[in-house]
Amino acid sequence: MLANVRQILNQTFIGSYVANRVDQVRTVNTKNGIEKQAIFLAISLTADFCLGTVIFSCVQQSGYSPQLLPQAIVNSTESTVENLKLIISWLMQNPAGLKLNSVLSRALGKFFLYHIHLWVTYVYLLIPALIDLLQTLSPVFHFLPLSLQLSILGDMLSVLCVHVFCFYAYARRITYSQINGCIALARLFAGKKYNPLRKRVDSADASLEHLFVGTMVFTILLFLLPTSLTFFLVFYSLRLSAMLGLEIIRRSIWLIQWLPCQS
């Protein structure tokens, strides 16, 4: 059960920070060279706290105070939503001269826009609670270690980007099922079918009805493939950039928490 809890905690930044520190403290207690480990851990924790305070005061001096944080969250959410809506409406109208199927691109675009609308409603219900939490935390924020500050930042970013991952998942499912359907029906086109028992392609004795319906569905899927492929590629690149930002934060936290001779 502890492994499950650990897995769940590792999904978030704050949870993984806490779990990592707990692990480090626990390893110190059970190892033989207790002095060296303890010294390294103490140095790491002290450096963490000092860096947190120093960098926070630098940031505060250049004008970003924690009271501005809730407003910053709301602004960034709104700008993300607006940009996503712009991208989707651009995809709905023949982007970059690509010949997308008009009916399907409009349908997919409307589906994604409605999803954004639902998500925005949900977030606007959640934001006041979040702002209250942050107001209570803001005096403490100054004295938190740097890795914990970065973890909080990373968690907020992943909450902002969750719908990008959702859209990528939808587009991926649609495109992959279309591609698989196309490949299977292309085999039917040539008069063959896949034999899962022997894991090879055999010749198929398909009746006339099978051939007719198979060819029509194959042509439909083939011509609708560029449209879903475009949506998939756009959301894949968005997801990549979001993952890049989150990965940078994750690596810097790992770097700060690194201990030499760690088992």
Partner 1 sequence: MENGRKNQWRKVLYENGGFPDNYTPPESFLAAIERNKNLRLYTKRECFQGAAIVGREVSLVITFWSLYVYLSESLINSEQLLVALLLVVTSGYLYHLRNYTYSVLLSGLKTTLFFLTVGFALSPVLFKLTDTISTDTIHTMSVIGLVVHTFTQNYGIHGPLVSKSISLNSAIFSTVCLASRFPTHIMAFSLLCLAVFCFLLVPMWSEVYVPNPLKSLLSALISVCLLARVLPNYAVLAAVFLILVQVICPLLFFHLQSYKQTIHGPWDEASLD
Beta carbon nearer to partner 1, 135 or 219: 219
Report the nearest approach of partner 1 to the CB of residue 230 (Å): 12
The torsion angle over the Cα atoms of residues 6, 12, 17 and 23, rounded to 10 degrees, is 10
Beta carbon nearer to partner 1, 35 or 209: 209
Beta carbon nearer to partner 1, 18 or 104: 104
Beta carbon nearer to partner 1, 215 or 237: 215
Is the distance from CB of 167 to CB of 112 less than 8 angstroms?
A: yes
Residues shown for the chain:
263
Q: How many CB atoms are located within 10 Å of the residue 168 CB?
A: 21
Report the nearest approach of partner 1 to the CB of residue 214 (Å): 8
Report the nearest approach of partner 1 to the CB of residue 231 (Å): 15
Residues in contact with partner 1 by CB under 8 A are 94, 99-103, 188-191, 204, 206, 208-209, 211-216, 218-220, 223-224
- Candidates 84, 34, 223, 58; CA nearest to 146 is 58
Beta carbon nearer to partner 1, 67 or 102: 102
Report the nearest approach of partner 1 to the CB of residue 238 (Å): 24
Report the nearest approach of partner 1 to the CB of residue 114 (Å): 22
User: How would you classify residue 33: left for phi > 0, otherwise alpha for psi between -120 and 50, otherwise beta?
Assistant: beta
Beta bridge partners of 192: 203
Cα–Cα distance between 124 and 258 in angstroms, integer?
38
